Structure 1
Amino acid sequence: MYFIGVDVGTSSVRAGLVKKVENGGGKLIKYHAEPITIFKPKTSYFEQSSKNIWDKVCECVKNVTADIIDKSEIKGIGFDATCSLVLLDKHNEPLSASPTNNNDQNIIMWLDHRAEKEADFINSLGHDCLKYVGGKVSLEMEIPKLLWLKRNMLDSYNNIHYAFDLPDFLTFKATGKTSRSICSLTCKWNYDAVKGQFPQDYFESIGLKELTEDNYSKIGNDILFPGDFVGKLSNEAANDMNLINGISVATSIIDAHAGGLGLIGSTTNKLSDVDLTSKLVLIAGTSSCHMSITENILFTKGVWGPYKNALIPNYFLSEGGQSASGVLIDYILSTHPDYQKTLNDLNGQNIHDYLYDEILKLSTSASLKTFHELTKDFHIYPDFHGNRSPVADSTLTGMICGLTMHNSIFITYLAMIQALSYSTKHIIESLYKAGRNEFKSILICGGLSKNKLFIQTTADVCSIPVLISNEPESVLLGAAILGATASKIFPNLKTAINELKNDAYQIEADVNSFDYHSRKYRVFLKMLDDQQSYKNIMNGT
């Protein structure tokens, strides 16, 4: 039997075909990726086309299932996607979300920062529902973006028939059903999953009362849990994908959360703990997402959540994050004066492996206790694209201390990797201060899970073992787990996670670096304080 997982990321669509193997676990036997278009009409504006995305979804699914002669062997399909806002008109056709008034540009992407004023306004009112998002709604979420549309593109706003989170749009296209995932609504739409309702007075107070009309039909009133059965694949969608109709379609999930599903069951011979609440899942790609679950409700300032049922039913999800991680590493390298020379020196080697090897050589030559000591006099604060957690301040910027006229690309690269790890430690310490139990492992997936320096530095800085799944495509596996749950092959989502999980290998923290990181982490926090002090000075406060 087979399950399909579809992942719509920031710049590409991927589909994977997963097969349950006899000795346990889900094996990705084929996957295919296609790029998707990003429009940038203004600075900090990022838009996409739902038609372009759906066409690429169908192309990817057709590719990975082409060799399956009997399509009835495919039992379920699950979708995940970025938390981007999709607009449709009364004919369910794309409705412009762009100042260009091009209807094809009907998606405001997650990383779009146009709604900064709207987010600030919403936060200034201090509604009680904001306690579920660390005290502040993010400009990356959907309600500030809808308020921006009302204030700046009233014609489009007034013609919204449906406003979907992108993962829910995909299940709508697959089935024709307008149900929404509690994952998307709770994490990005201020749905109160504890009370099981949208906070009507919240929408009224911020000026979006019309969204409450007709029992919230525009933004969702049929709310399901991740992996719940949405419906059967429609005739139209089956034709688009070259599949048979009737395949079970699962309630969707946000892309990072799909990685959480694909990872959270993983164990090793050294660390066989099956307690899901003891694990921090780090989805590290263009941006990073830090997810953990608890059995009890736990509020943490600056950390999104607790989101009830958003990942696994009957658990509360806490979600921290970094607005820029992988893209920030790329930026710090590509803008370095020695970048081109470094590319010329690779001789076919992966640039990140090459840099790590050279860092180890430099450390050995200097007879250092740990390679991390190379950055003793060079420090980076990494919020070049604002802080998502735990400060929750989109106006924060990056800082570098220790610049000379001859800064090495190796030291700069190492310092940036360390800075991102200190940011992760900052999130972890915020969760500890709120009362959660200590983590026994960090499970990493995404592009940075292939970066050996990033993995080792995360373990060293946080003093927690890092687990890397033997299935590198954890996000696609997580989406397929949703499809498996909807197919009723497994009785519930938790069972599907356990049956399709993969083993992992473990990276231990280097005890020789603990003291060094303790001191350098103090510098990290001091740089944050100093930046806030500079703002106060310049504002005359």
Structure 2
Amino acid sequence: MIDAHCGAIGLLGANDHPIIEAIPFHQKIALIGGTRFFVFYACLFARSFKLNEWRQYTQIDQAPIQALSEKAHVSVYAFLNHRLQEIAKAQGLTTVSFLTKDIHVNPYFHGNRSPLCNPHLKGIISGMKLQDLDNIDRCALYYLALCYDSLSILDTIKSRQIEIKAAFCTGGLSKNDLFVRLHADITQIPVVLPKVSDSVLVGGAVLAMVAHRTQTANITIPLAFQTAMKAMNHASTVVEPSADEKLIRFHQCKYKVFRKMIDDFNLYDTIMSDCV
């Protein structure tokens, strides 16, 4: 099994926290953030268990910022997050989210696997100035503006009469407090961090447990994936979404712009397709 899929199996069974204990499998998604970013949705029908992969895109070259973060003896994420906090404080803002009021990003630089299923989409950055190309502060703002794609996935699932009530996050990006906080605030669902940080390893153990029980001669009923996952998946921290009405409204407006950027790109593509 692919490592990211294993990560989802090592996450979605956790229900040992009061906020998530009553949430069933089909109302959870997994956010797997490593060198690429995946979103998984668990579908359970009768005795079958399926993982649907919704989104994947690669990260940008971190070399310039990596050099600065190493000089400061911190991670890239800690460096960028600190810069964002400094900028917000200097501008008298109550949250770093408000820094992106005039900066909008469509992250589909390599197309979109799902939910749009369009390999021809291209990325868009709105609000960029020429002097921003080598400006670390502006790079930090672009990075901050990337999280609305997760909400588009939730909206697509919701259109199928399924309400997602929690997101489970693992991988390198789960160690980025701001990334986790933004996902909770933008999606307005709690984001759960696992007790064991390497959920891929836990998922592999779940697979081994199910395979062993299934092949053991004296076991008449195969061990269900859900049972094994509940036994081996555990939650550590649950980040609840902000209830600040101003911030909620801000993210709603940002999301409208995000969706409009996709529509506009498709319109441009349609216009130009008739010209060549």
Q: Same fold (TM over 0.5)?
A: yes
Q: Secondary structure at the match of 1:495?
A: helix
Cα deviations by residue, 1:269-301 (Å, 9 ceiling, x for unpaired): 4332252222111122232222223445xxxxx
State the match for 1:266 in structure 2.
14
Q: 1:367 aligns with which of 92, 104, 107?
A: 92
Structure 2 stretches lacking a partner, 5+ long = none
State the match for 2:176 in structure 1.
451
Q: 1:292 aligns with which of 41, 44, 56?
A: 41
Q: Are residues 1:342 and 2:68 paired?
A: yes
State the match for 1:40 in structure 2.
none
Separation in structure 1 between the aligned mates of residue 145 and residue 14 of structure 2, nearest angstrom: 26
Q: 1:530 aligns with which of 228, 250, 264?
A: 264
Shift of 1:405: 3.3
Shift of 1:413: 2.9
Are residues 540 and 473 of structure 1, via their aligned partners in 2, closer, same or farther at CA, if it must alter by over 3 Å? same
State the match for 1:518 in structure 2.
252
Q: Secondary structure at the match of 1:383?
A: coil
State the match for 1:392 in structure 2.
117
Cα deviations by residue, 1:315-352 (Å, 9 ceiling, x for unpaired): 45443112x1xx32x33x44xxx7477346x4211121
Q: Are residues 1:278 and 2:27 paired?
A: yes
Q: How many aligned positions are there?
A: 263
Separation in structure 1 between the aligned mates of residue 66 and residue 227 of structure 2, nearest angstrom: 50
State the match for 1:465 in structure 2.
190
* Structure 2 counterparts to residues 277-426 of structure 1, below 5 A: 277-295=26-44, 313-315=47-49, 317-322=51-56, 324=57, 327-328=58-59, 330-331=60-61, 333-334=62-63, 339=65, 342-343=68-69, 346-407=71-132, 408-419=135-146, 421-426=147-152
Separation in structure 2 between the aligned mates of residue 415 and residue 509 of structure 1, nearest angstrom: 22
Separation in structure 2 between the aligned mates of residue 286 and residue 388 of structure 1, nearest angstrom: 16
Q: TM-score, normalised by structure 1?
A: 0.46
* Structure 2 counterparts to residues 45-124 of structure 1, below 5 A: 80-81=1-2
Over the matched positions of the two proteins, sequence identity in percent amounts to 30
Q: Which has the higher helix share?
A: 2
Q: Secondary structure at the match of 1:397?
A: coil
Amino acid at match of 1:260: A
Cα deviations by residue, 1:118-174 (Å, 9 ceiling, x for unpaired): xxxxxxxxxxxxxxxxxxxxxxxxxxxxxxxxxxxxxxxxxxxxxxxxxxxxxxxxx
Cα deviations by residue, 1:89-143 (Å, 9 ceiling, x for unpaired): xxxxxxxxxxxxxxxxxxxxxxxxxxxxxxxxxxxxxxxxxxxxxxxxxxxxxxx
- The structure showing larger relative contact order (alpha-carbon pairs under 8 Å, at least 6 residues apart) is 2
Cα deviations by residue, 1:351-386 (Å, 9 ceiling, x for unpaired): 211211221122122121321111111111101111
Preserved contact between residue 374 and residue 411 of structure 1 (Cα < 8 Å): no
Q: TM-score, normalised by structure 2?
A: 0.86
Amino acid at match of 1:259: G
Q: Secondary structure at the match of 1:362?
A: helix
Q: Secondary structure at the match of 2:131?
A: coil
Separation in structure 1 between the aligned mates of residue 26 and residue 129 of structure 2, nearest angstrom: 45
Shift of 1:483: 0.8
Cα RMSD over matched residues? Answer: 2.3
State the match for 1:75 in structure 2.
none
Amino acid at match of 2:25: L
Larger-gyration structure (1/2) = 1
Are residues 412 and 510 of structure 1, via their aligned partners in 2, closer, same or farther at CA, if it must alter by over 3 Å? farther
Separation in structure 1 between the aligned mates of residue 115 and residue 20 of structure 2, nearest angstrom: 28
Preserved contact between residue 185 and residue 248 of structure 2 (Cα < 8 Å): yes
Q: Secondary structure at the match of 2:192?
A: strand
Amino acid at match of 2:36: S
Structure 1 stretches lacking a partner, 5+ long = 1-79, 82-254, 297-308
Cα deviations by residue, 1:32-55 (Å, 9 ceiling, x for unpaired): xxxxxxxxxxxxxxxxxxxxxxxx
